[in-house]
């Protein structure tokens, strides 16, 4: 079992990630705001890891299994379609002459 | 398996999460430019794979059958969704995906709540995080579904309002917060829990119902931010730094986009935070413009475009509705081949989501270096021979600049009226979303091209090609 983190550790991580996100997103060309949104949406579907844990752990109740199953399905739809649609959109962005 | 094996597997999981976080950060970094953006998608996919595999090998996961079935089901739904989704439906798809993501977050919160309800201490940190996660998750879920309904036109896209709406909203939201606090103080009061969920779901509906179609770019961005924050809150509840990082990245992304959209509509920051947008004041009492309107035929329009040395096309939501992007691209190609310098002026809130026009025009094969942002195109417009407006209305309304009493006063516009001549393809003289008259239609240098955007552009193309 890994050492539980203290709350302040978690807030540190959150704050730094927030600042980093701010700097990164600011640089994204407005051209790509639609694909950006579908990419971040696909990435945020990483909540699937939480759904996997509650569905697959020992002693999961029927309720946990049912809701966990729905959550994995919903998140998987986002992962699969999110990455694929982002790539489909990006493929269309061409420079003049290419 | 001995204790050491557990520790080893746990370390592997954490290493996989660390690598996944790094890859997600790089994915966003590479999104900064079209030339590297697809590499960003690859990085994101690899990060996701590591995160999922890292979780599956975790010792806490003992049963795999349901997980595998859910993976397969999700893929079976997701792949056709991605393949067959027309690009004009991207805003709707984005709304649905926010709903799915938020639903997953909310449901995981429910399971965690019941798991710990009997044993958790009063005012525990985990319960603060859980309640926050579920409040945001469930309200984002229904709010996104309502946004989807409006974008898909299953629901009327005009604002749905009723008397005392603000008070009802306040009561529902206040009620949800009060119950959340009670549950944090006394986690075992499980009978209150379903009421909390119901109020959160209801608040989501109330939040988006009063918002009109043209405000959707802001709403979608804001829901993006909420979904990210909910994922972060889940990371706090589960002590999972990968989720905290990813949620924070997603949250800031949505938030920045919402702020950009707000600035582009001259709405205030607090308007965004409290969801008080969409309530455009009734049109200022300026009276109806009764100056005469000049109209032109496709033939005249083609002639004028051909004679021009520079043309700026200003697309708007009307181009998306009429599915005119391919005809517009054809026009761009024909004129460029004739030596005309053609550019597209893209307003940040044109369309129904951030970047909507760019995606549609890219799909129709317009090179992205021809798509120019508002700040860059405005100084060029006074030297431009023809500004051709296709399906845009409020984003080119000079009243926003000139009339302090206008409902959209102060909104940055594409100053198409400053071009040497202006042509507007439009079905009729009806006012735009904001319900305000647009003086540009009556200007002396403006010619109205009455008709459907797709059909009229097609007619201009025909005229241009028949000449040779």
Domain ranges of chain B: 1-84, 89-279, 298-466
> Which residues of B are marked as active site?
394
Choose between B383 and A2: higher pLDDT.
B383
Residues of A in contact with B238 (CB under 8 A): 50, 53
Residues of B in contact with A22 (CB under 8 A): 252, 256
Neighbours of A91 (CB within 10 A): 13
- Out of A2, A73, A87, whose CB is closest to B41? A87
Residues of A in contact with B148 (CB under 8 A): none
Strand partners, B343: B312
Q: Are B64 and A56 a contacting pair at CB < 8 A?
A: yes
Q: Residues of chain A with pLDDT > 70: what percent?
A: 96
Q: Which residues of B449-458 are buried (b: 16+ CB within 10 A; e: fewer)?
A: bebbbbebbb
Residue A97 scores a pLDDT above 90: no
Res B216: pLDDT: 85
What residue in A sits closest to B346 (Cα-Cα)?
A31
Res B273: pLDDT: 55
Across the 468 residues of chain B, what is the mean pLDDT of every consecutive 10-residue run? 74 96 98 95 98 94 95 97 91 96 98 94 95 97 96 85 84 97 96 98 92 84 95 96 98 94 81 51 50 91 96 94 95 96 95 93 95 96 97 91 86 95 88 70 93 95 84
Is residue B311 a contact partner of residue B377, using CB atoms and an 8 Å limit?
Answer: no
d(CA B71, nearest CA chain A) in Å:
6
User: Count H helices, E strands: chain A?
Assistant: 4, 0
Count contacts between A and B (CB, < 8 Å). Answer: 358
pTM of whole model > 0.95? no
Res B17: pLDDT: 97
d(CA B394, CA B36): 34
From the options 3.30.160.20, 2.30.30.90, 3.40.50.1220, 3.30.365.10, give the CATH code of B298-466: 3.40.50.1220
d(CA B238, CA B251): 18
Using one digit for the tens of pLDDT, what is the confidence trace for B39-53?
999 999 999 999 999
- Tokens 């694909």 label which residue? A35
- Out of B27, B220, B260, whose CB is closest to A39? B27
Using one digit for the tens of pLDDT, what is the confidence trace for A38-95?
999 999 999 999 999 999 999 999 999 999 999 999 999 999 999 999 999 999 998 8
Map out the domains of chain A as residue ranges.
Answer: 7-92
Res B272: pLDDT: 53
Neighbours of B459 (CB within 10 A): 19
Res B436: pLDDT: 67
- Tokens read off for B380: 């060029």
Res B21: pLDDT: 98
d(CA A36, CA B230): 19
């Amino acid at each position: 079992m890994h050492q539980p983190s203290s709350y302040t550790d978690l807030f540190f991580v959150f704050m730094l990630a927030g600042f980093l996100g701010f700097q990164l997103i600011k640089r994204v060309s407005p051209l790509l705001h639609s694909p950006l949104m579908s990419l971040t949406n696909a990435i945020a579907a990483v909540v699937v890891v939480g759904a996997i844990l509650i569905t697959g752990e020992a002693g999961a109740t029927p309720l946990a299994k049912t809701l966990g199953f729905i959550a994995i399905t919903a998140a998987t739809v986002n992962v699969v379609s999110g990455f694929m649609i982002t790539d489909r959109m990006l493929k269309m962005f061409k420079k003049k002459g290419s | 398996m001995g204790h050491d094996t557990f520790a080893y597997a746990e370390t592997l999981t954490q290493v996989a999460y660390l690598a996944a976080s790094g890859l997600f950060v790089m994915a966003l970094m590479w999104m900064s430019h079209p030339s590297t953006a697809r590499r960003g998608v690859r990085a994101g996919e690899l990060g996701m794979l590591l995160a999922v595999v890292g979780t599956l090998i975790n010792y806490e996961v003992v049963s795999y059958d349901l997980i595998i079935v859910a993976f397969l089901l999700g893929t079976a739904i997701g792949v056709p969704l991605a393949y067959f989704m027309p690009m004009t439906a991207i805003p709707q798809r984005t709304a649905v995906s926010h709903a799915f993501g938020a639903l997953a977050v909310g449901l995981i919160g429910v399971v965690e709540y019941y798991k710990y309800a009997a044993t958790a201490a009063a005012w525990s940190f985990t319960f603060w995080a859980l309640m926050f996660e579920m409040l945001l998750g469930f309200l984002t879920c229904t709010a996104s579904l309502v946004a989807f309904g409006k974008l898909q036109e299953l629901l009327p896209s005009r604002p749905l309002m009723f008397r005392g709406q603000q008070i009802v909203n306040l009561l529902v939201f206040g009620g949800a917060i009060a119950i959340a606090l009670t549950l944090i103080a006394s986690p075992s009061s499980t009978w209150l829990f379903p009421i909390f969920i119901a109020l959160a779901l209801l608040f989501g509906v109330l939040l988006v119902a009063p918002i009109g179609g043209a405000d959707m770019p802001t709403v979608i961005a804001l829901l993006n931010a909420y979904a990210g924050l909910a994922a972060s809150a889940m990371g706090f509840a589960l002590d999972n730094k990968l989720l905290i990082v990813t949620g924070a990245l997603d949250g800031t992304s949505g938030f920045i986009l919402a702020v950009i959209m707000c600035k582009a509509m001259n709405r205030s920051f607090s308007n965004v935070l409290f969801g008080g947008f969409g309530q455009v004041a009734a049109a200022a009492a300026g009276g109806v413009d009764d100056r005469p309107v000049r109209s032109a035929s496709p033939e005249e329009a083609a002639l004028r475009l051909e004679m021009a040395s520079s043309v700026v096309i200003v697309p708007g939501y009307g181009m998306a509705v009429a599915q005119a992007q391919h005809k517009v691209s054809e026009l761009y190609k024909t004129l460029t081949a004739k030596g005309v310098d053609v550019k597209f002026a893209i307003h940040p809130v044109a369309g129904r989501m951030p970047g909507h026009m760019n995606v549609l025009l890219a799909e129709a094969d317009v090179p992205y270096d021809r798509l120019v942002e508002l700040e860059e195109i405005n100084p060029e417009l006074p030297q431009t021979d023809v500004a051709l407006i296709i399906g845009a209305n409020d984003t080119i309304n000079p009243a926003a600049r000139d009339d302090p009493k206008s409902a959209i006063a102060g909104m940055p516009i594409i100053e198409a009226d400053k071009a040497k001549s202006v042509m507007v393809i439009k079905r009729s003289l009806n006012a735009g979303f904001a319900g305000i008259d647009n003086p540009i239609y009556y200007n002396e240098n403006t010619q109205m091209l009455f008709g459907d955007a797709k059909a009229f552009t097609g007619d201009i193309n025909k005229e241009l090609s028949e000449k040779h």
